Amino acid sequence: MSVFRSSLNYLAGQLRQIGLFIALIAIVIFFQVATNGITLKPINVTNLIVQNSYILILAVGMVMVIIAGHIDLSVGSVVAFVGAMSGVMITQWNVPWWLAIILCLGVGALVGMWQGFWIAYFGIPAFIVTLAGMLTFRGLTQIALQNKQISPFPDEFRALGSGFLPDLGGGTSAVEPLTLGIGIIATLFLVLKGIRQRRARAKYDVEDEPFAWFLTKLVFTAAMILGITYLLASYRGTPIVLIVLGVLIVVYASVMSNSVFGRHIYAIGGNLNAAALSGIKTKRVTFMLFVNMGVISALAGLVFTAQLNLANPKAGDGFELDAIAAVFIGGAAVTGGIGTVTGAIIGGFIIGLLNNGMSILGVGTEYQQLIKGLVLLGAVAFDVYNKRRSGGR
Amino acid sequence: MTTNILEMRSITKTFPGVKALQDVSLAVKRGHIHAICGENGAGKSTLMKVLSGVYPHGTYEGEIVFENEPVAFKSINDSEASGVVIIHQELALSPFLSIAENIFLGNEQQNNGWIDWNKTNMEAAKLLARVGLKDNPITKIRDIGVGKQQLVEIAKALSKEVKLLILDEPTAALNDEDSAHLLDLMKHLKGQGVTSIMISHKLNEIKAIADEVTIIRDGKLIETLDMHTDDISEERIIKGMVGRDLGSRYPDHTPNIGEELLRVEDWNVYHPLDHQRRVVKDANITVRAGEIVGIAGLMGAGRTELAMSVFGHSYGHNISGTVYKNGVKINTSTVANAIDHGLAYATEDRKRYGLNLIEDIKRNISTVGMHKIAKRGWVDSNQEIVVAEGYRKSMNIKAPTVEALAGKLSGGNQQKVVLSKWMFSDPDVLILDEPTRGIDVGAKYEIYGIINRLADAGKGVIVISSELPELIGICDRIYTIFEGRITADVARGQTTAEFLMQNMTQERDKDKR
């Protein structure tokens, strides 16, 4: 087989991943043109990241749950509940903001234990348990808030949602130096990591990715990060929530690919019986998975509340659906066992871009829903078609 | 002179890489009960699937003549329309519907799309009377036992005006009383002119009710015996089922047997759903270091149930008995415990219980022994590749790289991945359940070699199989199991396939329970 042929075969195998990137780029270009360049203006890119951060955070937890073959419908209500608790703690109990953040993450863990117990040890399907959770935590939110809103929050707390890292240029430079520095370091980190990984794989003779494709991917990723860095630096710098999100992505991407816990999640989603017969403590892993999802939901709740400067009984309504859609657009399998954190993040950006672009264009919410629905259906249909064509399951 | 209701002529059915049936002919006389016998995997079920249209006309060679007309069934619906009804071993009833609804499922008693309940229940009652079932037709299926469910299946077949009834191991899941009732019913139906084909392992049943018996081995027709004229003994049938040369299909091996490694005492297991039914009865087995021990039993005899219940109580209900490792009592009540005590169990059903098919070879291999390549919860991916690559070479797993998906491999290579997975966990005792099922001859030889290497490394190996030549070829000692009870324990060289089959198909001394 010629080099060209084998490269082509490799790319065909990666069709889903490539398709996702191409879709992302196509959507960016489309809106950039349609909105006369507003989409990629520095202020809009900043908004895009800040206003989608909580969906992206939720998508990180959700992709793990879905890989294990479960689902979590309660995350929107948990976001609201944790937001309400943070409001009650800070304004009524006078808990310092930093302690309130820690306690709220603890509340998320408790929520996760509650749901994880019923799912893992009692054997009720996650769909039912989290549907019940969706109702109960919404109810608890309203009880905690006595159906009123709580506002305002202290500035330190609000920074979690809408703050920026300090401007080292003193507000006078055209591009903010700290952001630029972070962007360059992040790019170098990714490039070095990619090269090291490829070297290791080549050493063990399992590398089948054509060099040209590896280079294309690397250049593309670097260009994307540097581009975003430049745009952010030309506005107000690095949003604090982007740092939170970045850490979350890096940590969970490696948890899913290299930790024993992550491997067990894939094993359970891929074949529950085989995992159990291999000595994997399937119930414990499932329980921990939902505890983790609870904490991540709590983090999203804190970010959302901080951003709006408001604890609202109606907060987080429908977030679970956006998070689930992001995960499936990002290539996760409905049957479990397949999916990646980065895929879910890209899926989340696609949803975010659609929301943002259509809002700028003044498309009504009815059409926004319609189009988002069709995109989700199309992405999964593409998956199913692909699998059938390649003779998979 | 009775005429033939069915003639299957020179049937050949090929699956990718395997000839499941080769030039098999079968003639069934009208109004007779015709038994089909053979080891697991001999091709009995395949032949019945060809007959009933599960494998549609055109996917096999040869011709089928039913009621003197050549037929070309494209689906089960076609064969049922002609009066050929097959009842599978796993019953196809819907547990939450009533007996009457199940009987007429897909064939509803209706008026323009509306169910006629009176007619449904009355007709069902008539059919139930024919099969000797006194339950109310509106009883839900899940509220009656397996024995009665089997009768409902037969009633359902009768509702379709069956001319030829095919029963695939009808008594495999039944207790003695229900079995006896079913056999009586079959004789009774014979009196009403229904022809039956029965696939069975139980020779006493065949001897009791069959008119003819056809023996299939390795996808080929061996012989058809007339049970009346020839005065056929069970030994005669067994000889047909197992009689083949043992040749050099097994690698030479000189055992080096040491101390006792594992002992299971007074092991009893009840069925997980039917809590009254004991599926393993007072079993005692031992295995020593360097010893290859066989467990010979037919499907449903309790061999897998025995192994899985010992391995982390993965099967069964109300399990009792003691497990000793190196003479010390151990607790194997969870899979993790069993693995910690050095046990490994490679399942008979690789696809459902053994592998993550959508994951690659290396991650399948590292599943059990992951702690060996992980530090503080983080897996060393490079080490993982090195380990998997090592097994790919030593086990001769045929795949381009260790990142090939397990689901894309052939059966033999999948089995090697499963074995690698367990070898990497470094167990002392390996239980291999049907390690060569669905594997071609060449790969089988390799698997036998691997089993010998494991024994040479001082491990105890238990091989569960229904292929007797295989057990005789590789095991140092063989247990037989029948209806949950260990019926024999013999050393290699002191046994024959006939002796084993005898103990696998009947109890030596008839002390029931």
ipTM of the complex: 0.85
Beta pairing, strands B343-346 & B429-433: parallel
Query: Band of the pLDDT at B512, cuts 50, 70, 90?
Result: very low
Q: Which chain B residue's Cα is nearest to A208?
A: B401
What is the structure's pLDDT at B14? 84
Question: If you measure CA to CA, which chain A residue comes closest to B359?
Answer: A270
In chain B, the largest separation of any two C-alpha atoms, in whole Å, equals: 79
Q: Are B59 and B152 members of one domain?
A: yes
CATH code assigned at B198: 3.40.50.300
CA distances from B150 to A191, B154, B179 (A): 65, 7, 10
Closest CB to B358: pick one of A258, A260, A393. Answer: A393
In a domain, B250, yes or no: no
Least confident span in B180-194, B252-266, B430-444? B430-444
| pLDDT surpasses 70 at B511 | no
Q: Of B243, B290, B293, B308, nearest to B490 (Cα)?
A: B293
Question: How many angstroms away from the CA of A27 is the closest CA of chain B?
Answer: 31
Smallest Cα–Cα separation from A154: which of A209, A237, A98? A98
Number of domains chain B contains:
3
Residues B398 and B296 in one domain: no
CA distance A333 to chain B (A): 11
Is residue B431 domain-shared with residue B415, that is, in the same domain? no
Q: Do both B119 and B130 map to the same domain?
A: yes
Fold of A17-163+243-389: ABC transporter involved in vitamin B12 uptake, BtuC (1.10.3470)
Contact B385 A393 (CB under 8 A): no
CA distance B85 to chain A (A): 30
Per-residue pLDDT reduced to its tens digit, B272-324:
888 888 999 999 999 999 999 999 988 778 899 999 999 999 998 899 999 99
Summarize pLDDT for B321-335 with one digit per residue, the tens.
Answer: 999 999 999 999 999
Interface test with A, best of B304, B356, B415, B422 (most A CBs within 10 A): B356
Together in a domain, B403 and B483: no
Q: pLDDT category, B179, cuts 50, 70, 90?
A: confident
Residues with Cβ within 8 Å of A226's Cβ and at least 6 positions away in sequence, in order, are A183, A184, A187
Q: Are residues B53 and B178 in the same domain?
A: yes
Cα separation values, B482 from B36, B172, B299, B500, Å: 19, 11, 10, 11
Quote the minimal CA–CA distance from B405 to chain A in Å. Answer: 10
Q: CB of B65 within 8 Å of any CB in chain A? A: no
Q: For residue B183, is it within any domain?
A: yes
A positions 244-303 inside 8 Å of B (CB) = 257-261, 263, 266-267, 270-271, 273-281
Longest distance between any two alpha carbons in chain A, whole Å: 71
Q: Strand pairing of B477-482 and B292-296?
A: parallel
Residue A391's pLDDT is what?
Answer: 47
Whether B391 and B275 share a structural domain: no
The whole-number pLDDT of residue B344 equals 96
Residues B385 and B312 in one domain: no
What is the C-alpha separation between A177 and A190, in angstroms, rounded?
20
Query: pLDDT digit string (tens) for B183-222?
Result: 999 998 898 888 999 988 777 888 888 999 999 888 888 8
B432 and B411 within one domain: no
Domain residues for B360?
352-426
Contact A267 B314 (CB under 8 A): no
Residue in A closest to B338 by C-alpha: A279
Residues B209 and B316 in one domain: no
DSSP string, B209-240: H-SEEEEEETTEEEEEEETTTS---HHHHHHH
Domain boundary among the residues B242, B265, B299 is at B242
Q: What is the C-alpha to C-alpha distance for residues A261 and B302, in angstroms, rounded to an integer?
A: 35
Confirm or reject contact between A334 and chain B (CB < 8 A). Answer: no
Suggest the residue from A277, A288, A292 to mutate for an interface test with chain B (most B CBs closer than 10 A): A277
Q: Which residues of B447-482 are buried (b: 16+ CB within 10 A; e: fewer)?
A: bbbbbbbbbeebbbbbbbbbbbbbbbbbbbbbbbbb
Over range B125-134, report the average pLDDT: 90
What would the two tokens of residue B315 be?
């099967």
Question: Quick one: which of A327, A301, A47, A322 has its CA closest to A160?
Answer: A301
Neighbours of B425 (CB within 10 A): 22
The reply to whether A4 touches chain B by the CB within 8 Å rule is: no
Considering CB atoms only, which of A261, A280, A338 is closest to B358? A338
> For chain A, which residues score pLDDT lower than 50?
1, 391-393
What is the average per-residue pLDDT within B346-359? 90
Mean pLDDT of B157-169: 89
Task: Please give the residue of chain A at the shortest CA–CA distance from B403.
Answer: A206
- B234 & B263 share domain: no
DSSP string, B91-104: ----TTSBHHHHHT
- On whether residue B347 sits in a domain, the answer given is no
Q: How far is CA A230 from the centre of its chain?
A: 22
Residue in B339, B371, B402 closest to A206 by CB: B402
Q: Does the CB of A332 have a partner CB in chain B at under 8 Å?
A: no
Q: Are strands B195-199 and B164-168 parallel, antiparallel or unpaired?
A: parallel
| Sequence ranges of the domains in chain A | 17-163+243-389, 165-238
Residue B460: which region, alpha, beta or left (left: phi > 0; alpha: psi -120 to 50)?
Answer: beta
Query: What is the pLDDT at residue A283?
Result: 95
What is the C-alpha separation between B144 and B478, in angstroms, rounded? 38
Question: What b/e sequence results for A97-107 when a residue is b if at least 16 CB atoms lie within 10 Å of its CB, and e otherwise?
Answer: beebbebbbeb
pLDDT of the residue at B407: 87
**CB-based contact, B361 to chain A, within 8 Å:** no
Same-domain check for residues B321 and B364: no
Q: What is the pLDDT of residue B16?
A: 66
